[in-house]
């Protein structure tokens, strides 16, 4: 309403009130307005929980259309000394959810190193060889020791011998690991001291699942223009703005140089690599045939650009892996809480054309104030994303029988 119309509106209330013998504020309240000049307390942003007035289809997808491999989970954490791991759940509890949601295999990316890796292999993979897969990790706390490059390559060779099925590289490489015992400059992703490790992975046929950088907003000031203001305000240590951190682009370019130097090694870019820029990710996939992407914790990004995402899935259907980044008990990050609700949201995103729904099982969107749209992928692509692409990398033989369910029917609220 422009100023002239607003003045006319207020004047009409005054005239009507005078004719009716009523105070202006009373008539305004009777007609749904509010008294001119009346104060109104501002609602804190954290208390703002709007309910959508859209009446759109809601499809409940309880089971994946085809048996699924969740390529990105964290069933355990490993301490710096590589000794006893901390299990985030038990196999029995994990299997209950997996069986209900048609998840045939879960990949525990954070299987650790040293004795912790051996324990994770025993507890998860050897006890349930057809249901759990364990990856190893570089032993970064020993990076400053003499002869680390050779040591780390030998650790990869050992991990392969004991049955680990891949390597997980955290974003610590590029954003956390430092020279001089931890007080110096950040170690670059393409530091050549890691070349023996990448080569050992390729020689052993182990895929490298690599997390590089973070959402672009994490590299910008946490101010009123940042679309992840609430998330960064709640977790200020997640910000990589300023100080001596490299930019988002510099991190990905360094990672790409590693990929180019090691064509025999297959790299899986976790979190789609850079989900806010699918055009750039497409350039990577076109340039480097030894790469794939995984979608964990990024349906919030993919789902708000559904047409671009659908084209991306169509074009790279043989190189996209299903994953959730699930963490049992990970309550600080609702988009990663392992459980029934998390899988239902992923299946709804991939399998239906539902519109404007939550990307995480939380009352408030945890990553940004938006909702997502389903892709409605056809069965031939779903089969690849859920199972075939990951099975090929992990050398899982055989194809599980049957589909998870018949297509669900949506309802209108």
For residue 201, CA distances in Å to 75, 97, 135, 273 come to 22, 32, 12, 20
Q: How far apart are CA 31 and CA 284, in angstroms?
A: 59
Beta carbons within 8 Å of 25's beta carbon, 6+ residues apart: 35, 36, 38
Q: What CA–CA distance (Å, rounded) separates 188 from 236? A: 23
Residues in the chain: 413
Q: What is the Cα–Cα distance from 71 to 50, expressed in whole angstroms?
A: 34
Contact 284, 273 (CB under 8 A): yes
Task: Check residue 399 and give its pLDDT.
Answer: 75
pLDDT for residue 403: 56
Structure confidence at residue 36 (pLDDT): 47
pTM, two decimals, is 0.89
Torsion sign across C-alpha atoms 189, 146, 141, 197: positive
Phi, psi of 249 (to 5 degrees): -65, -40
pLDDT at 34: 52
Q: In the prediction, which pLDDT does 39 show?
A: 63
What per-residue confidence (pLDDT) applies to 28? Answer: 43
Q: What is the reported pLDDT for 30? A: 46
pLDDT at 20: 46
Cβ contact 62:411 at 8 Å: no
* pLDDT < 70 regions, the chain: 1-39, 401-413
pLDDT recorded at residue 59: 98
| Pairwise CA distance, residues 271 & 171, whole Å | 11
Q: What is the pLDDT of residue 38?
A: 54
């Amino acid at each position: 309403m422009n100023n002239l119309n607003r003045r006319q509106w207020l004047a009409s209330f005054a005239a009507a009130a005078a004719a009716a013998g009523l105070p202006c504020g009373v008539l305004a309240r009777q007609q749904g307005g509010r008294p001119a000049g009346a104060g109104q307390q501002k609602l804190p942003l954290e208390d703002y929980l709007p309910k959508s007035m859209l009446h759109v289809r809601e499809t409940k997808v309880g089971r994946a259309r085809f048996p699924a491999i969740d390529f990105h989970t964290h069933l355990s954490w490993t301490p710096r000394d590589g000794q006893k791991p901390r299990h985030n759940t038990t196999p029995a509890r994990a299997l209950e959810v997996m069986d209900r949601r048609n998840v045939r295999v879960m990949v525990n990316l954070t299987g650790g190193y040293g004795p912790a890796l051996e324990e994770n292999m025993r507890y998860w993979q050897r006890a349930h060889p057809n249901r759990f897969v364990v990856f190893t990790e570089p032993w970064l706390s020993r990076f400053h020791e003499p002869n680390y490059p050779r040591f780390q390559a030998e650790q990869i060779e050992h991990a392969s011998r004991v049955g680990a099925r891949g390597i997980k590289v955290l974003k610590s490489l590029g954003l956390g690991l430092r020279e001089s015992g931890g007080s110096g400059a950040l170690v670059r992703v393409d530091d050549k001291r890691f070349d023996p490790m990448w080569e050992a992975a390729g020689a052993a046929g182990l895929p490298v699942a690599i997390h590089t950088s973070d959402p672009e907003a994490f590299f910008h000031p946490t101010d009123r223009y940042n679309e992840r203001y609430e998330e960064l305000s709640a977790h200020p240590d997640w910000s990589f703005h300023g100080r001596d951190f490299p930019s988002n682009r510099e991190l990905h370019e360094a990672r790409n140089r590693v990929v180019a130097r090691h064509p025999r090694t297959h790299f899986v870019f976790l979190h789609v690599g850079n989900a806010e820029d699918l055009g750039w990710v497409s350039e990577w996939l076109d340039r480097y045939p030894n790469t794939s992407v995984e979608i964990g914790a990024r349906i919030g990004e993919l789902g708000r650009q559904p047409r671009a995402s659908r084209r991306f899935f169509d074009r790279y259907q043989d190189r996209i892996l299903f994953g959730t980044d699930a963490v049992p008990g990970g309550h600080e990050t609702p988009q990663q809480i392992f459980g029934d609700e998390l899988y239902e949201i992923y299946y709804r995103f991939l399998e239906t054309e539902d519109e404007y729904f939550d990307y995480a099982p939380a009352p408030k969107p945890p990553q940004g104030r938006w909702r997502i749209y389903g892709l409605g992928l056809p069965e031939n692509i779903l089969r690849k994303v859920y199972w075939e692409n990951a099975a090929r990398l992990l050398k899982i033989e055989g194809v599980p029988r049957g589909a998870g369910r018949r297509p669900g029917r949506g309802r209108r609220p």
